[in-house]
């Protein structure tokens, strides 16, 4: 009765580098005896001096752990597969399912990997067997997904529900000019399969939420966090901790980026680093604060690098280290990170044992995860009303955006005082009886400005939808940003 014993990478030096060995035997004990009779050096790695299987060696018959069968007395049927699974320091990230074989075309495609001792054919087969999920097909997800696909990650999942916008193309290199207006997932799938048709791209066209995150993440080995808002970032972190999936983390802002690896066994998580999100509106999003286009290229590529290393069981990953990159200074720094025993999700007595309401946790209005907290309720006016009355001279139009935004486009006869300066320049707002209308890009900052003016005894109205609404409905010749 012939069976196949699958040999894990660390034990292959004792089997002449063979990853599978055919043996005879009616029970697990007989099959393993046949194996160690043939490869005598293997014996001391599998058995202790007492002749018992070592505790860190797990033996499976097909899918079942023999500890839950009849242990070494477990009877074998012809053609059974026996897997030897030793525990590996640092925790194996990828599933321990037998890695798939490479085709001749794949050997050629990945030849520069195959000749690296750290990758080699076994590593490449692990990459082929790996399942990685990119949360987001935007700035970070673009370079990450491209490099992971090129590297031969067998299954690449992507979560996104957005449509490609012209303003994405400055950094989201998965998408091209003809893709503007298309689903990011469709565009991503086409581009990735063009790059590497061997990769199975799985698309999840949903907004990741507490109700669907565990169901989506559970089928992947490693999660790559390419989110652009705090609510989803905490959601991804907590889901990774609860599921025991490593999280290749990256974030970007203007010229600065961060990267680390969270939620490995014994390693820190995002909440160990940042137990609480910043108050809404304190940290602007990329849409408000801007971002150097190449920055997510660097950080997303670091996330892809760490993901590949996790699949390859590399020791020196970013686990326990926070990498900080400043593109403007061109400097890299790193900080030590430790798991916080008090961490609410990965600590010794976790209080978060299931996914929570992350919009509420981050103080974000439901349904607008990327937007700052709801703007204060203030008197408003419409762009049509403004258009009708602007020429009469009865309105003072105050623009509270930043000077560089004012340079891009402006509504005629507006006066610029950035929101951050309004408090100290409030005397520049006239009190000559003209009605004061305040606008910004989309209405959020101007609502705060109206509130500030009201608090100083100056009545004012907010322009609904900001200059974007003006461009849409009054003057489409102005550029949008």
C-beta closer to Zn ion: residue 149 or 337? 337
Q: Which residue is nearest to Zn ion (CB)?
A: 343
Give the interface with Zn ion as residue ranges (CB under 5 A). Answer: 269, 271-272, 343, 346
Our CA dihedral for 405, 408, 413, 416, rounded to 10 degrees, sits at 20
Provide, rounded to whole angstroms, the least separation between the CB of residue 343 and Zn ion.
3
- For residues 199 and 208, the answer to whether their CB atoms sit within 8 Å is no
For the chain, give the number of residues. Answer: 481
338: nearest Cα among 277, 273, 275:
273
CA 454-459-465 angle, to 5 degrees, is 90
- For residues 164 and 184, the answer to whether their CB atoms sit within 8 Å is yes
Provide, rounded to whole angstroms, the least separation between the CB of residue 352 and Zn ion.
9
Provide, rounded to whole angstroms, the least separation between the CB of residue 272 and Zn ion.
4
C-beta closer to Zn ion: residue 248 or 346? 346
Provide, rounded to whole angstroms, the least separation between the CB of residue 250 and Zn ion.
18
C-beta closer to Zn ion: residue 23 or 217? 217
C-beta closer to Zn ion: residue 110 or 262? 262
Provide, rounded to whole angstroms, the least separation between the CB of residue 348 and Zn ion.
10
C-beta closer to Zn ion: residue 189 or 271? 271
- For residues 127 and 200, the answer to whether their CB atoms sit within 8 Å is no
- Asked if 286 is an active-site residue, the reply is yes
Cβ neighbours of residue 318 closer than 8 Å, sequence gap 6 or more? 259, 260, 261, 302, 306
Catalytic residue among 134, 272, 343, 440: 440
C-beta closer to Zn ion: residue 346 or 364? 346
- For residues 466 and 441, the answer to whether their CB atoms sit within 8 Å is yes
C-beta closer to Zn ion: residue 39 or 270? 270
Q: For 75, list phi and psi in degrees, rounded to 5.
A: -75, 150
Catalytic residue among 269, 286, 362, 409: 286
Give the HSE-up count for residue 89: Cα atoms under 13 Å, Cβ half-sphere: 5
Provide, rounded to whole angstroms, the least separation between the CB of residue 247 and Zn ion.
11
Provide, rounded to whole angstroms, the least separation between the CB of residue 271 and Zn ion.
4
Cα 198 to Cα 401: distance, rounded to the nearest angstrom: 48
- Asked if 362 is an active-site residue, the reply is no
Active site residues: 286, 440
């Amino acid at each position: 009765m012939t069976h196949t014993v699958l040999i894990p990478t660390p034990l292959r030096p004792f089997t002449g580098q063979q990853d599978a060995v055919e043996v005879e035997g009616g029970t697990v004990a007989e099959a393993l005896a046949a194996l160690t009779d043939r490869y005598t050096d293997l014996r001391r790695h599998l058995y202790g001096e007492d002749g018992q299987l070592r505790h860190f060696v797990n033996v499976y018959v097909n899918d079942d752990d023999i500890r839950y069968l009849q242990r070494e007395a477990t009877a074998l049927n012809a053609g059974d597969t026996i897997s030897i699974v030793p525990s590996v320091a640092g925790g194996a990230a990828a599933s321990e399912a037998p890695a798939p074989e490479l085709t001749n075309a794949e050997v050629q495609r990945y030849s520069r990997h195959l000749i690296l001792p750290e990758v080699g054919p076994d590593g490449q087969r692990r990459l082929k067997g790996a399942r990685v999920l990119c949360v987001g097909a935007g700035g970070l997800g673009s370079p990450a997904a491209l490099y992971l696909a090129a590297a031969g990650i067998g299954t690449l999942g992507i979560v996104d529900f957005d449509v490609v916008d012209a303003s994405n193309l400055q950094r989201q290199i998965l998408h091209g000019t003809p893709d503007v207006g298309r689903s990011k997932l469709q565009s991503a799938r086409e581009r990735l399969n063009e790059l590497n048709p061997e990769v199975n791209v799985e698309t999840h066209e949903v907004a990741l939420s507490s109700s669907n995150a565990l169901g989506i993440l559970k089928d992947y080995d490693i999660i790559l966090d390419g989110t652009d808002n705090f609510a989803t970032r905490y959601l991804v972190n907590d889901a990774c901790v609860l599921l025991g999936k490593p999280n290749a983390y990256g974030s970007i802002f203007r010229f600065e980026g961060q990267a680390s690896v969270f939620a490995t066994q014994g390693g820190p998580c995002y909440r160990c680093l940042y137990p609480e999100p910043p108050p809404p509106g304190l940290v602007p999003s990329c849409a408000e604060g801007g971002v150097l286009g190449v920055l997510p290229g660097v950080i997303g590529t670091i996330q892809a690098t760490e993901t590949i290393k996790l699949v390859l069981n590399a020791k020196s990953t970013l686990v326990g280290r926070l990498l900080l990159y400043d593109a403007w200074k061109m400097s890299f720094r790193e900080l030590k990170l430790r798991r916080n025993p008090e961490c609410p999700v990965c600590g010794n007595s976790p209080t978060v044992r299931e996914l929570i309401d992350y919009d509420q946790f981050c103080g974000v209005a439901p349904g607008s995860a990327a937007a700052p907290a709801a703007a204060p309720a203030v008197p408003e006016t419409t762009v049509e009303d403004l258009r009708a009355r602007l020429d009469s001279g009865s309105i003072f139009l105050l623009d509270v955006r930043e000077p560089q935004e004012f340079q891009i486009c402006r509504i005629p006869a507006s006066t610029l005082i950035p929101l951050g300066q309004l408090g100290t320049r409030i005397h520049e707002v006239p009190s000559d009886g003209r009605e004061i209308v305040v606008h910004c890009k989309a209405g959020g900052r101007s609502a705060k400005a109206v509130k500030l003016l009201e608090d100083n005894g100056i009545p004012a109205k907010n322009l609904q939808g900001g200059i974007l609404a003006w461009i849409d409905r009054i003057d489409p010749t102005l550029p949008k940003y």
